Amino acid sequence: MVARPVPADWLALRRRADHRAREDARDLLELLTDHLRTRGGDELVVVDVGAGTGSNQAWLAPRLPGRQRWVLVDHDADLLEHEPAAEADDRITTERAVATVEDLPALLPRDGAVLLTCAALLDLLSEAEIETLADVVAPDAAPGAAALLSLSVTGEVALMPGHPADTAVTAAFDAHQRREGRPGPDAAEVMARALRRRGARVELRATDWVLAAQDEPLLRRYLDDRAAVAVEHDPELAPVVREWLEERSRQLEAGSLRARVGHLDLLSLPPETVDEGAGAAPRSR
Ligand SMILES: C[S@@+](CC[C@H](N)C(=O)[O-])C[C@H]1O[C@@H](n2cnc3c(N)ncnc32)[C@H](O)[C@@H]1O
């Protein structure tokens, strides 16, 4: 069942900012491509969980080496119906599977080179779903897969200039993300711990959105949605949030609002294949 459908137009709005942010984790991509070249193999199977309309594939596929068979997985069949996002490239084939995170153990091939990837998904998942993902990436009795899990929100949101209601809006939004015990803004760190417990080598990098006047349509939608979620979580905040949103809207019209929205990218590699020097690189945020 789709608990909270993600609108396709929201995914279109955020795509450019997502792709720009991922450039900050280019070193993770280099570690990953080095690993994949070492593994060799005829074809890489790339399983993109929560693929939506294919933004992750559009960014990542051209940056990966060799032939790739992409499996776009989402529990929302409507989103998967969008046209393939990757530019025509005869190295790449694409399949779609309407399935959930819980279905992954059955979907993932057991042999051959596999990359599990997602973008903007981890912070939506329950702790049980994060454990399931960790199990398929780093199983007890198999070598495991590489994983690139991108753009998980961290809850760190800086709007400039500041507003007295920023803290209340953030608290209500984050509390909503943490509903029913979800890790929400801690999801990337929770996943990193789950993978390290299973012996994987994990690197995290900050991939924040940095938004300014030219990102006005995305910023406006982001703030509208943030306000709606805050009020849904705490209806008593409605008057404060309305005033906050009106002020933010005036700033957007004046082109004077900037924002940094915290995200983390996570790379996980099987332990035996990670170069010690590269794996010891300090985490940068
Ligand atoms: C914020 S969107 C990101 C979509 C896409 N990865 C992107 O970067 O544009 C999250 C996506 O995950 C899907 N999703 C959420 N929970 C899921 C689950 N438990 N199993 C499969 N898909 C899920 C949603 O339908 C949605 O397409």
Q: Whose CA is nearest to atom 7 of ligand 1?
A: 55
> Structural domain of residue 98, as residue ranges?
8-154+183-208+262-272
Please give the Cα distance from 52 to 81 (Å, whole number).
9
| Among 151, 206, 116, 107, CA closest to 19 | 151
| Among 76, 78, 81, CA closest to 2 | 76
Give me the CATH number covering residue 74. Answer: 3.40.50.150
Report if residue 256 sits inside a domain: no
Report if residue 161 sits inside a domain: no
Report if residue 17 sits inside a domain: yes
Q: Does ligand 1 lie within 6 Å of residue 123's CB atom?
A: no
Report if residue 139 sits inside a domain: yes
Q: Does ligand 1 lie within 6 Å of residue 129's CB atom?
A: yes
Please give the Cα distance from 236 to 205 (Å, whole number).
37
Number of domains in the chain: 1
What is the residue-level pLDDT of the chain in tens, covering all 285 positions? 346 789 999 999 999 999 999 999 999 999 999 999 987 778 999 999 999 999 999 999 999 999 999 999 999 999 999 865 556 788 999 999 999 999 999 888 877 689 999 999 999 999 999 999 999 999 887 778 999 999 999 999 999 999 999 999 999 999 999 999 999 999 999 999 999 999 999 999 999 999 999 999 999 999 999 999 999 999 999 999 999 999 999 999 999 999 999 999 999 999 864 444 444 333 344
Report if residue 108 sits inside a domain: yes
Tokens 């993978």 correspond to 195
pLDDT at site 42: 83
How many angstroms is it from 121 CA to the middle of ligand 1?
Answer: 5
Report if residue 27 sits inside a domain: yes
Q: Does ligand 1 lie within 6 Å of residue 75's CB atom?
A: yes
HEC readout, 187-237: HHHHHHHHHHHCCCEEEEEECCEEECHHHHHHHHHHHHHHHHHHHHHCHHH
Report if residue 80 sits inside a domain: yes
How many angstroms is it from 51 CA to the middle of ligand 1?
Answer: 6
Q: Does ligand 1 lie within 6 Å of residue 263's CB atom?
A: no
Report if residue 283 sits inside a domain: no
82 phi and psi, to 5 degrees?
-65, 155
**pTM for the whole thing?**
0.93
Q: Does ligand 1 lie within 6 Å of residue 174's CB atom?
A: no
pLDDT at site 85: 55
pLDDT at site 274: 42
pLDDT at site 276: 44
Q: Does ligand 1 lie within 6 Å of residue 121's CB atom?
A: yes
The answer to whether 160 and 153 are in contact (CB under 8 A) is no
